[in-house]
Amino acid sequence: MGRKRTKSGKIRLAEVAELAGVSPITASRFFRNPEALSVAKRTRVESAARELGYVPNLAARALASQRTEVIGVLIPSLTNNVFSDVLRGIYDASEGSRYSIQLSNTRYSILQEEKLLRLFLAQKPAGLIVTGIDQTTESRAMLEAADCPIVQIMEIGPNPVDMMIGFSHYDAARAAIAHLFAQGHRKIGFVGARMDPRVQRRLDGYVSAMKDAGLFEQRLVVTTATPTSVTLGGALFTDLLARQPGIDAVFCANDDLALGVLFECRRREIAVPEQIAIVGFNDLEFMASAVPTLTSVRTNRYEMGNTAATMLIEAIDGRRPEQPVLDLGFKVIERQSSSSRRSDGRPAASGAGAANKMIALPNGQD
């Protein structure tokens, strides 16, 4: 009775404590570290909270404890299918935990990333997930100075800020080219769009593989800074054909481009794989049902996001992983579009680091 209620009529921690017959601070502890309470008080607080329908006020908690329960996520794109899989993994992992996700889109700009980073850091996030390893020096400094766990995702490189999870785009591209070599292809073109750092490294892998074989020619490479799309794949392939009519295979920096190339081949009545082989990157769901089915390099996108968030949360809660850098690997999924035998979908080359576990990608799961 004597208690004044907040104007919103909300239940406060004090009410719960009163009903449970304990002090507010004890009730508070129940929500943060139940083990610290005696069993008797624990059950009393629990039932009192349930009875009143108590929901903690996160703003008050954040203010008092000087830290938030927010995980900041910086990704370069919301459109790209690749990131929606990663994101789904992150959100799934965060569910059930007490952390919430704060997402921001850098639009492939490291300057924008720096700005957002500054914004995030000012709110003292519990943890941070950032895409890639190409931060500005300023961003890098901020990340290193940050007093929260950080995971870099999407690729593996030297000098992790903290934790890191991804795979080598360079090696993956080399594996794709090796597969094409194995199928007897020699004049292999490269088609790439957007040309963000990861696509760039795929190009580097392609170039090195081709050079190793003494087959590299600059004219085999067609790229653009334009955002990727299926239509663009067709257009870039058209360019490539004009420059190098004699090519016998195309390695596409992603699957949308590969699909565009496939359609363009159909339009031009170029037989795939007899005249031109096609290899994509990411192994999106549609690759397996295209006609012909399309070879691609499978990447563990969902698992990348999911593991990153899981590791981050563990680290926040003080259980740092014994293995802070995790290589999730990749796998060349050989399908009809690059098979001289027109076999269907059995795995070919597989590259990986320490932890190359291939899990079923729950594509289109929800």
Residues in contact with its own copies by the rule CB under 8 A: 7-8, 55, 57-60, 62-63, 66, 68, 76-81, 84-85, 87-88, 91, 100-105, 107-108, 119, 122-124, 227-231, 233-234, 256, 259-260, 263, 266-267, 285-286, 288-291, 363-366
Binding of DNA by 46 (CB under 7 A)? no
**Dihedral (Cα; 55, 58, 62, 68), 10-degree rounding:** 120
Binding partner selected for residue 87 from its own copies, DNA, none, CB under the kind-specific 5 to 8 Å limit: its own copies
Q: What b/e sequence results for 128-165 when a residue is b if at least 16 CB atoms lie within 10 Å of its CB, and e otherwise?
A: bbbbbbbbeeebbebbeebebbbbbbbbbbeeebbbbb
Handedness of CA 202, 80, 88, 135 (dihedral sign): positive
Instruction: Give whichever of 7 and 341 is closer to DNA, judged by the CB atom.
Output: 7
The correct pick among 1, 3, 38, 318 for binding DNA (CB under 7 A) is 38
- Which tokens in the block code for residue 228? 């990727």
Decide if 185 contacts 213 (C-beta within 8 A).
Answer: no
Could you say whether residue 65 binds DNA (CB under 7 A)? Answer: yes
Least distance from its own copies to the Cβ atom of residue 172, Å: 22
Q: CB of 27: closest distance to DNA in angstroms?
A: 7
Q: Least CB distance from residue 324 to DNA, whole Å? A: 25
Alpha-carbon span 7 to 18, nearest angstrom: 19
39 or 59: whose CB is closer to its own copies? 59
Min dist. Cβ of residue 39 to its own copies (A): 28
Is position 3 an interface residue for DNA (rule: CB under 7 A)? no
Residue (256 or 327) nearer to its own copies, CB: 256
Q: How far is the CB of 4 from DNA (least distance, A)?
A: 7
Is the CB of 333 or the CB of 349 nearer to its own copies? 333
Q: Cβ closer to its own copies: 79 or 136?
A: 79
Count Cβ atoms within 10 A of the Cβ of residue 125 and give its class: 0-12 exposed, 13-18 middle, 19 or more buried: buried
Among 66, 137, 159, 289, which residue sits at the site for DNA (rule: CB under 7 A)? 66
Preceding amide of 149 cis, omega within 30: no
Please report whether residue 185 would count as binding DNA according to CB under 7 A: no
Q: With respect to DNA, which residue has the nearer C-beta, 42 or 88? A: 42
For residue 292, whether the previous peptide bond is cis, meaning omega lies within 30 degrees of 0, is yes
- Phi-psi domain of 266 (left: phi exceeds 0; alpha: psi -120 through 50; beta: other): alpha
For residue 258, the one-letter residue type is A
Nearest-approach distance from CB 152 to its own copies, in angstroms: 21
Q: Choose from its own copies, DNA, none: what does 37 bind? Cβ within 5-8 Å by kind.
A: DNA
| Interface characters, 6-35, with DNA (x: CB under 7 A) | x-x-x-xxx-------xxxxx-xx-xx--x
Of 239, 242, 275, give the one whose Cα is nearest residue 257. 239
Q: Which of 60, 111, 141, 225 binds DNA (CB under 7 A)?
A: 60
- 64 contributes a contact to DNA by CB under 7 A: yes
Q: Which does 183 bind (CB under 5 to 8 A by kind): DNA, its own copies, none?
A: none
Q: What is the DSSP string of 35-82?
A: GGS-HHHHHHHHHHHHHHT----HHHHHHHHT---EEEEEES-SS-HH
Which candidate, 121, 163, 166, 143, places its Cα nearest to that of 316? 163
Closest CA to 120 of 160, 163, 92, 150: 150
The alpha carbon of residue 222 and the mean position of all alpha carbons in its chain are separated, in whole angstroms, by 26
Q: Which is nearer to its own copies, 208 or 231 (CB)?
A: 231
Residue type, 116: L
Min separation Cβ 118 and its own copies, Å: 8
Binding-site ranges for DNA (CB under 7 A) = 4, 6, 8, 10, 12-14, 22-26, 28-29, 31-32, 35-38, 40-41, 54, 56-57, 60-61, 63-66
